[in-house]
């Protein structure tokens, strides 16, 4: 099989399942790609898993069926402030390096899902910066022009995805490090809600704000990785469960910058691309609403120009006290600034942060999401060398406030300027809206019509449109007790069902909590003329025999019929006798069974 330039997850899984690709083939191809790209940019990787270990991992996977694991044979990379057993963790500082005894929780979960770890990528030292220039291991460059920065601090991770070396990569995001590099390299950067991905095994930058983030070629891939990696973890101080909250997906309001707040540092082309992005999102169903950027700008200043810099010192205090001379000069100077603040200053900064969170919370009454530029413009390496602090501040103009205000964000490409350099926008919404935020950002990305990554030959894969199954396999949508984590999910597991995607029904369905059901379950009914927001369903793939056994076990008043999804495609799914369903409680407004059960 001839592999695509961008190693997106869905095509690779399809190739594994049809037998046209094996993990061993994939490993050989990835090694060759990395070796070739290293001649253009030798600064992407800090350490790599030896070839013999990669091939052994591939051989072990080949003992299992490709349908058994959701990330079977998918290659990925990890930013080198995240622990991987068997590889050193450097955080971009050789004097700091140590050998972890176990992998970070997110790495463990992804490998358990079948993914193949390729290596660890370069970063701005101690994840301090948005430029990708503060590393003794070299400076990865923008994949489109070596004179321009890759963006940081997750520089190597973004380049590894954009260059087609891995399917996805983990970064981290405190001030925008999971978003700015995505914009500068024409890929997706998904910044989860704080605490959703465990930070156990992460060298912190600001532990109260840090998020492990995901770079990928599409929002569908990024969300797939997030939901597999997400889990509460008592070892992670700020861990939270992914309490998924819906967003309106058919018609919605989106906050945009007023003309006087639009700052592109003189780059008229990026200003035009932002205007085009607003127009495109209107065509998808959005209504633009001007927002007040002043409280967001004030919040952003707290991170580097205020007392929150003290938390960066707290993260590496012992090392800083004994090895200050071994640090990058700019990184060291930033952390030196922590000495200018007192404990009183820190608490006053926290109080102001929480006051601004209240202001930001009220903003959501005016719109459902924000659409902002990811960065005003890309900068050259020469600019960073001449003005390292100013250049970094420029790149964080639209990103620094997001974690301080407890928001989720998804950065996507938004076109190219006439000089051939990319521009990106970021979708921002309240915490726990990660899934629907990725859906909306993905629709925008597809409507843009641009291919992703360096080669710009492969368009982003949409799992919303992925509603066809290979021969002898059936797609089944489940809406209630068979959802992942619910009492009857084991019936799907015993038939080796594979989760293909999480989506919604068409808007004309209602959901009812059935009376006297054990275990509790809902009934789905279609109502002609009803216009809701659709209901969450998980779509699973089963072989024909397994589907037959599953259907035979379905009790009355439930039945299996055809369900129309929000993209207009039909799959098999659970339906219920209308009379029985309507004898229960109408829970349509909750958005789905999972949300309803969380509020009981």
Query: Which residues are known to be catalytic?
Result: 79, 153, 177
Q: Are 230 and 485 in contact (CB under 8 A)?
A: no
d(CA 33, CA 263): 38
Tell me the chain's radius of gyration from C-alpha atoms. 24
3-state DSSP assignment of residue 435: helix
Q: Which residues, other chains included, contact 50 with Cβ-Cβ below 8 Å and sequence gap of 6+?
A: none
Structure tokens at 17: 């399942």
Q: Where are the beta strands (DSSP E) in 451-554?
A: 473-478, 498-504, 509-513, 522-526, 536-543
Q: Where are the beta strands (DSSP E) in 447-546?
A: 473-478, 498-504, 509-513, 522-526, 536-543
Q: Where are the beta strands (DSSP E) in 419-472?
A: 422-430
Give, in order, the Cα–Cα distances in Å from 226 to each of 10, 165, 435, 486, 494: 15, 20, 9, 20, 24
d(CA 212, CA 149): 21
d(CA 183, CA 142): 10
- Helix, strand, coil abundance in the chain, percent, nearest 5: 35, 20, 40
Residue with tokens 């999972």: 594
Residue with tokens 């004994």: 322
Q: Are 249 and 436 in contact (CB under 8 A)?
A: yes
């Amino acid at each position: 099989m001839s592999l695509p330039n961008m190693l997106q997850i869905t095509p690779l899984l399809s190739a594994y399942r049809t037998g046209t690709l094996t993990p061993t083939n994939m490993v050989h191809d990835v090694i060759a790609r990395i070796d070739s790209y290293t001649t253009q940019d030798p600064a992407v990787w800090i350490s790599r898993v030896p070839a013999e270990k990669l091939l052994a991992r591939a051989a072990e996977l080949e003992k299992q069926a490709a349908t058994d694991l959701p990330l079977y044979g998918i290659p990925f990379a990890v930013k080198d402030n995240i622990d991987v057993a068997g590889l050193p963790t450097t955080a971009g500082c050789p004097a700091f390096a140590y050998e972890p005894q176990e992998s970070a929780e997110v790495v463990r979960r992804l490998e358990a899902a079948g993914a193949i770890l390729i290596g660890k990528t370069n970063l701005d030292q101690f994840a301090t910066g948005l430029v990708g220039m503060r590393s003794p291991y070299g400076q990865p460059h923008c994949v489109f022009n070596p004179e321009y920065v890759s963006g940081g601090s997750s520089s190597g991770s973004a380049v590894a995805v954009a260059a087609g070396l891995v399917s996805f990569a983990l970064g981290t995001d405190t001030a925008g490090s999971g978003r700015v590099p995505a914009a500068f390299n024409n890929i997706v950067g998904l910044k989860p809600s704080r605490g959703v991905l465990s930070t156990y095994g992460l060298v912190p930058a600001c532990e109260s704000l840090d998020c492990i983030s995901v770079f990928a070629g599409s929002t569908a891939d990024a969300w797939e990785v997030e939901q597999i990696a997400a889990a509460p973890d008592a070892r992670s101080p700020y861990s939270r469960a992914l309490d998924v909250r819906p967003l309106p997906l058919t018609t919605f309001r989106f906050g945009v910058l007023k003309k006087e707040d639009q700052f592109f540092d003189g780059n008229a082309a990026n200003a035009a691309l932002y205007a085009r992005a607003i127009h495109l999102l209107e065509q998808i169903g959005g209504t633009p609403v001007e927002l007040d950027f002043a409280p967001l700008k004030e919040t952003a200043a707290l991170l580097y120009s205020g007392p929150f810099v003290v938390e960066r010192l707290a993260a590496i205090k012992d090392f800083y006290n004994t090895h200050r001379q071994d640090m990058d000069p700019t990184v060291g100077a930033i952390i030196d600034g922590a000495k200018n603040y007192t404990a009183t200053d820190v608490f006053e900064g926290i109080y102001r942060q929480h006051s601004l969170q209240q202001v930001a919370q009220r903003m959501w009454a005016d719109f459902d999401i924000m659409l902002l530029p990811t960065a005003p413009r890309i900068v050259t390496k020469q600019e960073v060398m001449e003005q390292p602090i100013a250049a970094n501040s420029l790149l964080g103009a639209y990103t620094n406030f997001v974690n301080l205000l407890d928001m989720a964000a998804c950065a996507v490409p938004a076109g190219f300027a006439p000089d051939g350099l990319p521009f990106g926008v970021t979708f921002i919404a309240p915490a726990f809206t990660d899934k629907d935020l990725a859906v909306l950002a993905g629709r925008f990305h597809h409507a843009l019509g641009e291919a992703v990554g360096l080669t710009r030959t492969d368009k982003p894969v949409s799992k919303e449109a992925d509603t066809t199954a290979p021969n002898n396999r059936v797609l089944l949508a489940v809406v209630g007790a068979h959802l992942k984590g619910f009492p009857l999910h084991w019936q799907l597991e015993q038939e080796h069902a594979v989760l293909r995607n999480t989506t919604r029904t068409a808007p004309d369905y209602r959901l009812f909590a059935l009376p006297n059901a054990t275990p509790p379950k809902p009934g789905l009914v279609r109502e002609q003329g009803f216009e809701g927001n659709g209901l969450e369903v998980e779509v699973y793939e089963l072989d024909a025999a397994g589907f037959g056994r599953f259907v035979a076990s379905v009790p009355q008043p439930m039945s299996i019929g055809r369900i129309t999804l929000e993209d207009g495609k039909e799959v098999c799914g659970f339906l219920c006798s209308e009379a029985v369903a309507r004898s229960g409680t109408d829970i349509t407004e909750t958005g789905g069974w999972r949300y309803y059960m969380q509020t009981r």
